[in-house]
Amino acid sequence: MSTLVQYFRDIDMHDLPQVGGKNASLGEMYQKLTPLGIQVPDGFATTSEAYWQFIEENQLRDPLSELLSQLDRQQFSNLEEIGKQIRATFLEAKLPTEVQQAIREGYTYLTEHYGEDISLAVRSSATAEDLPHASFAGQLESYLNIRGFDNLLNACHKCYASLFTNRAIKYREDNKFDHVQVALSVGVQLMVRSDQGCSGVNFTLDPDSGFDQVVLITSVWGLGENIVQGTVNPDEFYVFKPTLKRDKQAIISRRMGSKEQTMVYASNGSGVFNQPTPADRRDQYTLTDEEVTTLAKWSVAIEEHYQRPMDIEWAKDGNTGQLYIVQARPETVHSTKEDLLEIKTYQLPKAGKALCQGYGLGNKITAGKARILHSPTEAHKLQEGEVLVTTRTTPDWDPILKKASGIITDQGGRTSHAAIVAREVGAVAVIGAGNATQVIQDGQEVTVSCAEGETGYVYEGILDWKESVIQLPDLPLPETQVMFILGDPEQAFRLATYPNHGVGLMRLEFIINNAIQIHPMALCQFEKVTDAAAREKIEQLTHHYPNRADYFVEKLAEAVAQIVAAFYPKDVIVRMSDFKSNEYANLIGGHDFEPPEENPMLGFRGASRYYHPKYQAGFELECKAMKRVRETMGLENVKLMIPFCRSLTEAEKVIALMEQFGLIRGVNGLELYMMTEIPSNVILAQEFSEYFDGFSIGSNDLTQLVLGVDRDSDLLSDLFSANDPAVKKMIREVITVANRTNTKIGLCGQAPSDDPAFAQFLVEAGINSISFNPDALVAGIKNILQAEKTQEATDEAMQVTHD
């Protein structure tokens, strides 16, 4: 057997010094993984010995050393010239006869197995005896769609020359590698006809957050070089590993890319080129769910084989429909990070001229150009990173708010829509500033500071501020469960790494606004939508779905699943939709299904909607989505919560309806919770405990209804306080009843993070859990830890007194 060529069937990772990391990995996969059903195209690799024979027979060592000695290693002013001369010298040399013969033997082997008309991928892989871990990724050349033996020899020759591309020379200089000690192996692999199919790249973790329980699959039509080069926007799929292993439907997120270009083989010989993707193919997914699942399972098997996160290239042959793994390499960003988890804190050493002030949210500082918008129709004026200034926001502003680095409103309180969404998208916000739209000029540079307590300030100009870091591992979790209030799936993977016991309140409203946009009844009863523009928009959004209602179910299920998977197996308590009628009306097609109400806050909302003929079909879609998450997708850590349940009769009706829709309390571990936000919920807590497994105190609505204060009223904001004795008495009462009836009880709200005394009150009362917005988590944990320490000291003192 020739020592100048090795076949994939004979190569594994022990051969890395001879064939380089890329080819050693291909051989390892072909040897070890094809028996598991993972398809890897066959091939062979020239060895480092073949490269050194090329160098010696052409007497290139001295000319190479001479040219490299002339390299300007300070400014690299002559890098291009030196590189060009070395490559020319290599290309003028001849491939040794023995090397050509060894490559011919490999080529003959492939044609005998796959036919004379094969196409080959020819890739460079750097190697050296003393540099086994040097990857040289992206520094060398690959040649695709190589046909015929002569073209193969030419491609191998060019691969040798590519060891001295300008970028490869600079890479080795930067990393202190000796140029003349590095050899090159050429991998020759059967080319999959993905020009007629599709291809892509998989990561066995989320590349943005490092969350390692998912596989990210990206895919484009044609050859995968368009993904590698970043030329097109691919389809994306997230697959959840734990439920994948249980053979559940584990795709928790999918996003269709625009896929503008398709890279195909040149029809007149070797090479590839890009052509525009036909409109109908741009508007469909490149992979079926079954193919996504197969690729995910293969990726997990590859990760388990290598015992580390992997970056994997794959291709689908458009003629045969077969999937193949064509490359695998270690993921090198998150898998090598050793940074401790941390949260930043902010301080403004010197305040400037304050333009206005209001409720401060976000515990951060930001700065940028102010952009005054009067309605969502002006969204195009807001550039990424600018500070949005407006009178007030409603749910139809949600997609816009994510672009803003800061949010300033004239109106609204700490629990208004703008405040809630600002927390969910992680923005810095000053809410209820009164006259912000008058005192701030459009385009003016401002600094928004919410790091100075409950009051947020807007300062003139861009100021300097200090940032410091809290290491999260230094922050222990208290006995009282600390949970998140969360609605944005895009934050879930990152937030799941923070200290927490799960999600105590996941609102569906954010998802319906952003991922779905359409009123559910407009999907169930499309014929009743009267607005032509709304009808057109609904048809545009749902045209992939034969049944429009399936659009709502799939979008809601996958957005919820992304959050639930991030925190799996911890509890995620999903609150069924709690829009008010005026908010529902703002969804596409919503005006045809919502009644006009004088006071929507106390109107057609929560449980009363679910069994009413005006919304029951919409509630059925919500239930179908949750059933899919729990049963089809296998995420049983979802608990479901009913908001604004006014009476025991309503509890009976809603629970009976959920059973009718396949969500039965106690079956498959399903637990039902109730928002405790109406005085009747407290007064009849013992009776409600027979219907529900848990209560969640909604302190904002409870405060509003106990005190008779509109929570959004600027005029009455001084009266609105969860610290009011009447409110605290109600909270203590329901906690007492919950503990007596073994009903889980938590609280969702800002007060325990803003006010240590309120946290102390909750701990003393016996609360099981407290849920915080992400920006308030650290302050909340600290307040609870201090409260538990105080409570423990009090208990010990009482014990001593008793003794």
**Catalytic machinery residues:** 417, 748
| Among 602, 773, 742, 575, residue whose Cα is nearest residue 674 | 575
Give 374-379 contacts, CB < 8 A, sequence gap 24+. 376/400
- Which two three-digit tokens encode residue 1? 């057997």
CB 656 within 8 A of CB 622: no
DSSP output for 477-525: PPSSEEEEEE--GGGHHHHTTSS-SEEEEEESHHHIIIII-B-HHHHHT
Q: In the beta sheet, which residues pair with residue 408?
A: 389, 430
| Among 422, 696, 732, residue whose Cα is nearest residue 572 | 696
SS (H, E, C) 261-286: EEEEECCCCCCEEEEECCHHHHCCCC
Q: Is 247 exposed, middle or buried (0-12, 13-18, 19+ CB in 10 A)?
A: exposed
> Rounded distance, CA 307 to CA 284, Å?
35
Dihedral pair phi/psi, residue 638, rounded to 5°:
-80, 130
CA quadruple 270, 276, 279, 284: dihedral, nearest 10: 50
Alpha helices in 210-328 (DSSP H): 225-228, 241-245, 279-282, 289-306
> Rounded distance, CA 641 to CA 578, Å?
11
CB 220 within 8 A of CB 232: yes
Helix/strand/coil percentages in the chain, nearest 5: 45, 20, 35
DSSP state of 341: P
Give the count of beta carbons closer than 10 Å to the beta carbon of residue 479. 12
CB 671 within 8 A of CB 694: yes
* Beta strands, E only, 153-249: 183-190, 198-203, 214-221, 235-240
* Beta strands, E only, 736-783: 744-748, 769-772
> Rounded distance, CA 418 to CA 400, Å?
12
> Rounded distance, CA 395 to CA 583, Å?
6
- Which two three-digit tokens encode residue 520? 């559910």
CB 547 within 8 A of CB 526: no
Region of 670 on the Ramachandran plot (φ > 0 left; ψ -120 to 50 alpha; else beta): beta
| CA torsion through residues 244, 249, 254, 256, sign | positive
State the angle between helix axes of 149-161 and 97-114 in degrees (0 to 180), rounded to the nearest 10. Answer: 130
Is 458 in a helix, a strand, or coil?
A: strand
Alpha helices in 175-237 (DSSP H): 225-228
- Which two three-digit tokens encode residue 111? 């044609």
> Rounded distance, CA 172 to CA 183, Å?
12
- Which two three-digit tokens encode residue 90? 């290599």
CB 762 within 8 A of CB 459: no
